Amino acid sequence: MFVVATAGHVDHGKSTLVRALTGMEPDRWAEERRRGMTIDLGFAWTTLPSGGTVAFVDVPGHERFVPNMLAGVGPVPAALIVVAADEGWMPQSAEHLAALDALGVAYGLLAVTRADLADPGPATARARAEIAETSLGAVPAVAVSGLTGAGLPELRAALDRLAAQLPAPVVDDPVRLWVDRSFTVRGSGTVVTGTLGAGRLRVGDELELAGADEPVRVRGLHSLGEARPEAVAVARVAVNLRGTPRDRLGRGDALLTPGRFHHTDLVDVRLAGDPAADLPATLTLHVGSAAVPVRVRPLGPDTVRLRLARPLPLLVGDRALLRDPGRHHVSGGVRVLDVEPPPLARRGAAAARAQVLAELDGRPDLAGELRRRRLIRAGALIRMGVPVHAEPVAGDWLSDPDHWRRLGERLTEEVARHAREHPLEPGMPVDALRQRLALPDRVLVEALVRPPLRIHAGRVGAASANALPEPVALAVQRVRAEYGDRPFRAPEADRLVDLGLGPREIGAAVRAGALLRLADNVVLLPDALDDAVRVLAGLPQPFTLSAARQALDTTRRVAVPLLELLDRRGATRRLPDDARIVVT
């Protein structure tokens, strides 16, 4: 299917021409037919000589209904510009053309109507000259009469040629169906219509309603007046939604492939039109079928930041237009450069941001996004409209290669600094490293660790991190020399201090396995447990605490926590009468 929107001044024969081409009545409402002009959007379709189908979105031409016109033009790839031969180029002709230019519409035709009432030559020449200065460029022109039918075969042939020029739609893209009408059908429920510009829809699909938390499901699909199991872009579609109240959605809402779009109320854009500095503080942004008030903050000569009154599902590269409704003036077209821009909190941030935006062209660029954002989840980039074809550095995190290399260098420096400042600790805690490197996820810290560093017990340190600092190692040697022949005698607290073992030194020695902690300030050499089991196994079984203390040649201060530790480890078992046996 080929979808085209009409454009042109009020009462220049747009609806009459569509009616003559299709045999269908595009003016849906009785009020429109009574007043003889299109107020809302109308839809009709016909078969072309090639066998293809063209569907028309017939838009209103009156200046009071320009927002309705923009809702119809926004998602449509081509335009049929209508100018009456007897009136020629008019104010709404110019505003409609400005809107098409702002939206970047590049494919179109000129139909000069009422050729039976006046010479179409002057109107054709003026209109083609005006159109040539826009994104449409040089367009074919056909003189027609909707009343007599003159020129209709030539117009059909021109539409066929236009359809052949359009780029092939991307049917594998995610769906973003901008809603231009919503209504209720008895027995079916809520129905919405729109132009499917990319992707495909199937009955049973689960979609996301922009701005809502819960999903919606496609109950039925209609296209060209027929029920269909599937609709493929580009197409006019009517979507019957299961269980969705009519008041939940309307014009300007969008049905989306779940998880594929970023909802944003802040965007940086490039403006083509009025100078950014001359824009008023508030305008209306028209994108798809949506019209949303925005606050405007100029950044550079042609770049601005827009604060939207409500979030919209926008992508990098989207085309939209800014309009001043009070002046009935199209301020210009915009191209979305960034849908998740950074805050501008510091002095000079706006000027710096303008320099960044000056280098962007609105085309999704993975390398550029990574360079600017440094670290970002792949899913976030996809929802911005940036294709992802790089391997994550950890989980689903992507990073700019240079930034990732610098992070690795900083991690090594931070671990070395921590080791100097805390020589008795077996490495730097992972969470402390994450904070020092300002990383959003600890998996990134873990992915940055490379030999000779390693992660052990939640800390990052050298592979030899269990080696004791020299002062602690010397103190342990003194303990072994003094108590080696009395392995179950624990130094008293003051003696530990004399040996150079304060609480921090003891902790380091215990973590390194150089000492065994039984209780506060009760430490033995690390092989004391195995030696104790051998001694206790030589006692008559079961044995008492007193017998164990005597056999081990130690004090109650050591014997009690030593036996309790052996119990916990399963080397001994305590009996109901408080005696114990060695478990063999």
User: What would the pLDDT profile of 479-513 be if each residue is shown by its tens digit?
Assistant: 888 888 889 989 988 888 888 888 888 887 887 77
Confidence band of 432 (pLDDT split at 50, 70, 90): very high
pLDDT > 50? residue 63: no
Give 288's pLDDT tier (boundaries 50, 70, 90): confident
- The closest of 137, 83, 130, 68 to 106, measured between CA atoms, is 137
pLDDT, mean of residues 429-445? 94
User: Distance of CA 557 to CAs 283, 305, 486, 561, Å?
Assistant: 82, 73, 15, 7
At 66 the pLDDT is 44
pLDDT computed for residue 250 by the predictor? 82
pLDDT at 30: 37
Instruction: Return the SS3 of 2.
Output: strand
- How many other C-beta atoms lie within 10 A of the C-beta of residue 349? 13
- Could you tell me the pLDDT band of residue 206, with boundaries at 50, 70 and 90? very high
Give mean pLDDT, residues 225-251.
85
Q: Quote the pLDDT of residue 20.
A: 86
Which SS3 state, helix, strand or coil, does residue 531 take?
helix
303-314/262-273 β-pairing: antiparallel
In the Cβ-directed half-sphere of 15, how many Cα atoms lie within 13 Å? Answer: 22
174 pLDDT higher than 50: yes
Model confidence at 328: pLDDT above 90: no
Higher pLDDT residue, 41 or 219?
Answer: 219
Pick the range with the lowest mean pLDDT from 185-194, 291-300, 342-351. Answer: 185-194
Least confident range of 98-107, 300-309, 457-466: 457-466
When pLDDT is cut at 50, 70 and 90, the band that residue 61 belongs to is very low
**Which of the listed CATH numbers 1.10.1040.10, 2.20.28.120, 2.40.30.10, 1.10.357.10 matches domain 176-256?**
2.40.30.10
Domain ranges, ordered by start, for the chain: 2-165, 176-256, 262-363, 527-584
Q: Which residues contact 39 (CB under 8 A, 6 or more apart)?
A: 29, 31, 32, 60, 62, 65, 68
Report the pLDDT averaged over residues 273-292. Answer: 91
Between 222 and 27, the more confident residue is 222
Rounded CA-CA distance 176/238 in Å is: 14
Fold of 527-584: Arc Repressor Mutant, subunit A (1.10.10)
Q: What pLDDT is recorded for position 466?
A: 52
Q: Higher confidence at residue 120 or residue 327?
A: 120
Q: How many CB atoms lie within 10 A of CB 523?
A: 24
Question: By three-state DSSP, how is residue 95 classified?
Answer: helix
pLDDT tops 50 at residue 64: no
- CA dist 529 and 542 (Å) reads 19
Q: How far apart are CA 353 and CA 341, in angstroms?
A: 9
Highest-pLDDT range among 51-60, 130-139, 321-330: 130-139
| Class of domain 262-363 (CATH, top level) | mainly beta
User: Is the pLDDT confidence value at 33 over 50?
Assistant: no
Q: pLDDT class for 463, splitting at 50, 70, 90? A: low
Look at 11 and 482; give whichever has higher pLDDT.
482
Least confident of 51-55, 258-262, 360-364: 51-55
Residue tagged 């709404």 (tokens) = 92
What average pLDDT does range 546-566 have in this prediction? 93
Per-residue model confidence (pLDDT) at position 67:
45
55-69, 150-164, 223-237: lowest mean pLDDT where? 55-69
What's the pLDDT at 501? 86
Joined tokens for residue 407: 């992070």
pLDDT above 70 (res 473)? yes
Predicted pLDDT of residue 65? 34
Domain 2-165: which topology? Answer: Rossmann fold (3.40.50)
Is 284 in contact with 323 (CB distance < 8 Å)? yes
Q: Is the pLDDT of residue 533 over 50?
A: yes
**What confidence tens digit (pLDDT) does each residue in 118-166 have?**
999 999 999 999 999 998 999 999 999 988 889 999 999 999 999 889 8
Closest residue by Cα to residue 319 from 260, 379, 267, 378: 267
Binned at pLDDT 50, 70 and 90, residue 338 comes out as very high
Query: Is there a shared CATH topology between the 2-165 domain and the 262-363 domain?
Result: no
